[in-house]
A and B are shown apart, each in its own frame.
Chain A
Amino acid sequence: RKEVEQDPGPFNVPEGATVAFNCTYSNSASQSFFWYRQDCRKEPKLLMSVYSSGNEDGRFTAQLNRASQYISLLIRDSKLSDSATYLCVVMEGSARQLTFGSGTQLTVLP
């Protein structure tokens, strides 16, 4: 069983659409939660942390449900520049290592 599972995608949406990504994690002791964005052939870049109370950064909203071990990312008013792979990530252990989902590919179409 994968430790972090994401929607397989790919998601192809028109500009202006709202799109949601979901993720589940298996380690209930996971400490911190993140969404990273990875462009083709580039390194992952931190998009946002995810907090239990839910948090928003512009068009992006992240939610965490610790009881269900579920994380989500909502992107509103999609832009062409949002096209990328979105990685669900949990931080765990004394080493604060990151465990990654395999990513969900998003393509925003004109």
Chain B
Amino acid sequence: DGGITQSPKYLFRKEGQNVTLSCEQNLNHDAMYWYRQDPGQGLRLIYYSQIVNDFQKGDIAEGYSVSREKKESFPLTVTSAQKNPTAFYLCATRDRGEYQETQYFGPGTRLLVL
């Protein structure tokens, strides 16, 4: 199957703990993105990567870190510095397309703080 996979589906974090969310794609897309969604709000950009070994901060990068060692993988670490991590985390890839670039999303990870 082609697509974007995210794991785990649900993740529980204890106070002071770092946790890593997985995002994998087999679409051969260069660009990947991490967004966060809070209830009743639109998605906000955390980090993005346009190519392997390069990534940039988005609008709300504080308390998060990423790596892009392989084209297929763009993991997101939620560090203890992120004071309000409870949210729905969505990974996306960008398809250049024949006529227009579009982004497609993985199924998401729900992070809850215990």
Contacts and interface: CB of A to CB of B under 8 A. Distances in A.
B94 A103 contact: no
Interface string B72-114: 0000000000000000101010100000111111111000000
Given A32-B100, A95-B48, A95-B50, A43 B105 contact: yes
B103 A98 contact: yes
Contact of B33 (A32, A43, A97): A97
Nearest to A88: B42
B100 A100 contact: no
B107 A96 contact: no
Interface residues on A, range: 20 to 34
A45 B105 contact: yes
Given A97-B33, A97-B48, A102-B42, A44 B100 contact: no
Interface in A45-83: 45-46, 49
15 contacts: A4-B42, A42-B108, A43-B90, A43-B106, A44-B43, A44-B90, A46-B103, A91-B103, A95-B56, A96-B94, A96-B103, A98-B33, A98-B45, A100-B42, A100-B43
Contacts of B43: 44, 87, 98, 100
Contacts of B35: 98
A32 B102 CA distance: 9
Interface in B37-62: 40-45, 48, 50, 56, 58
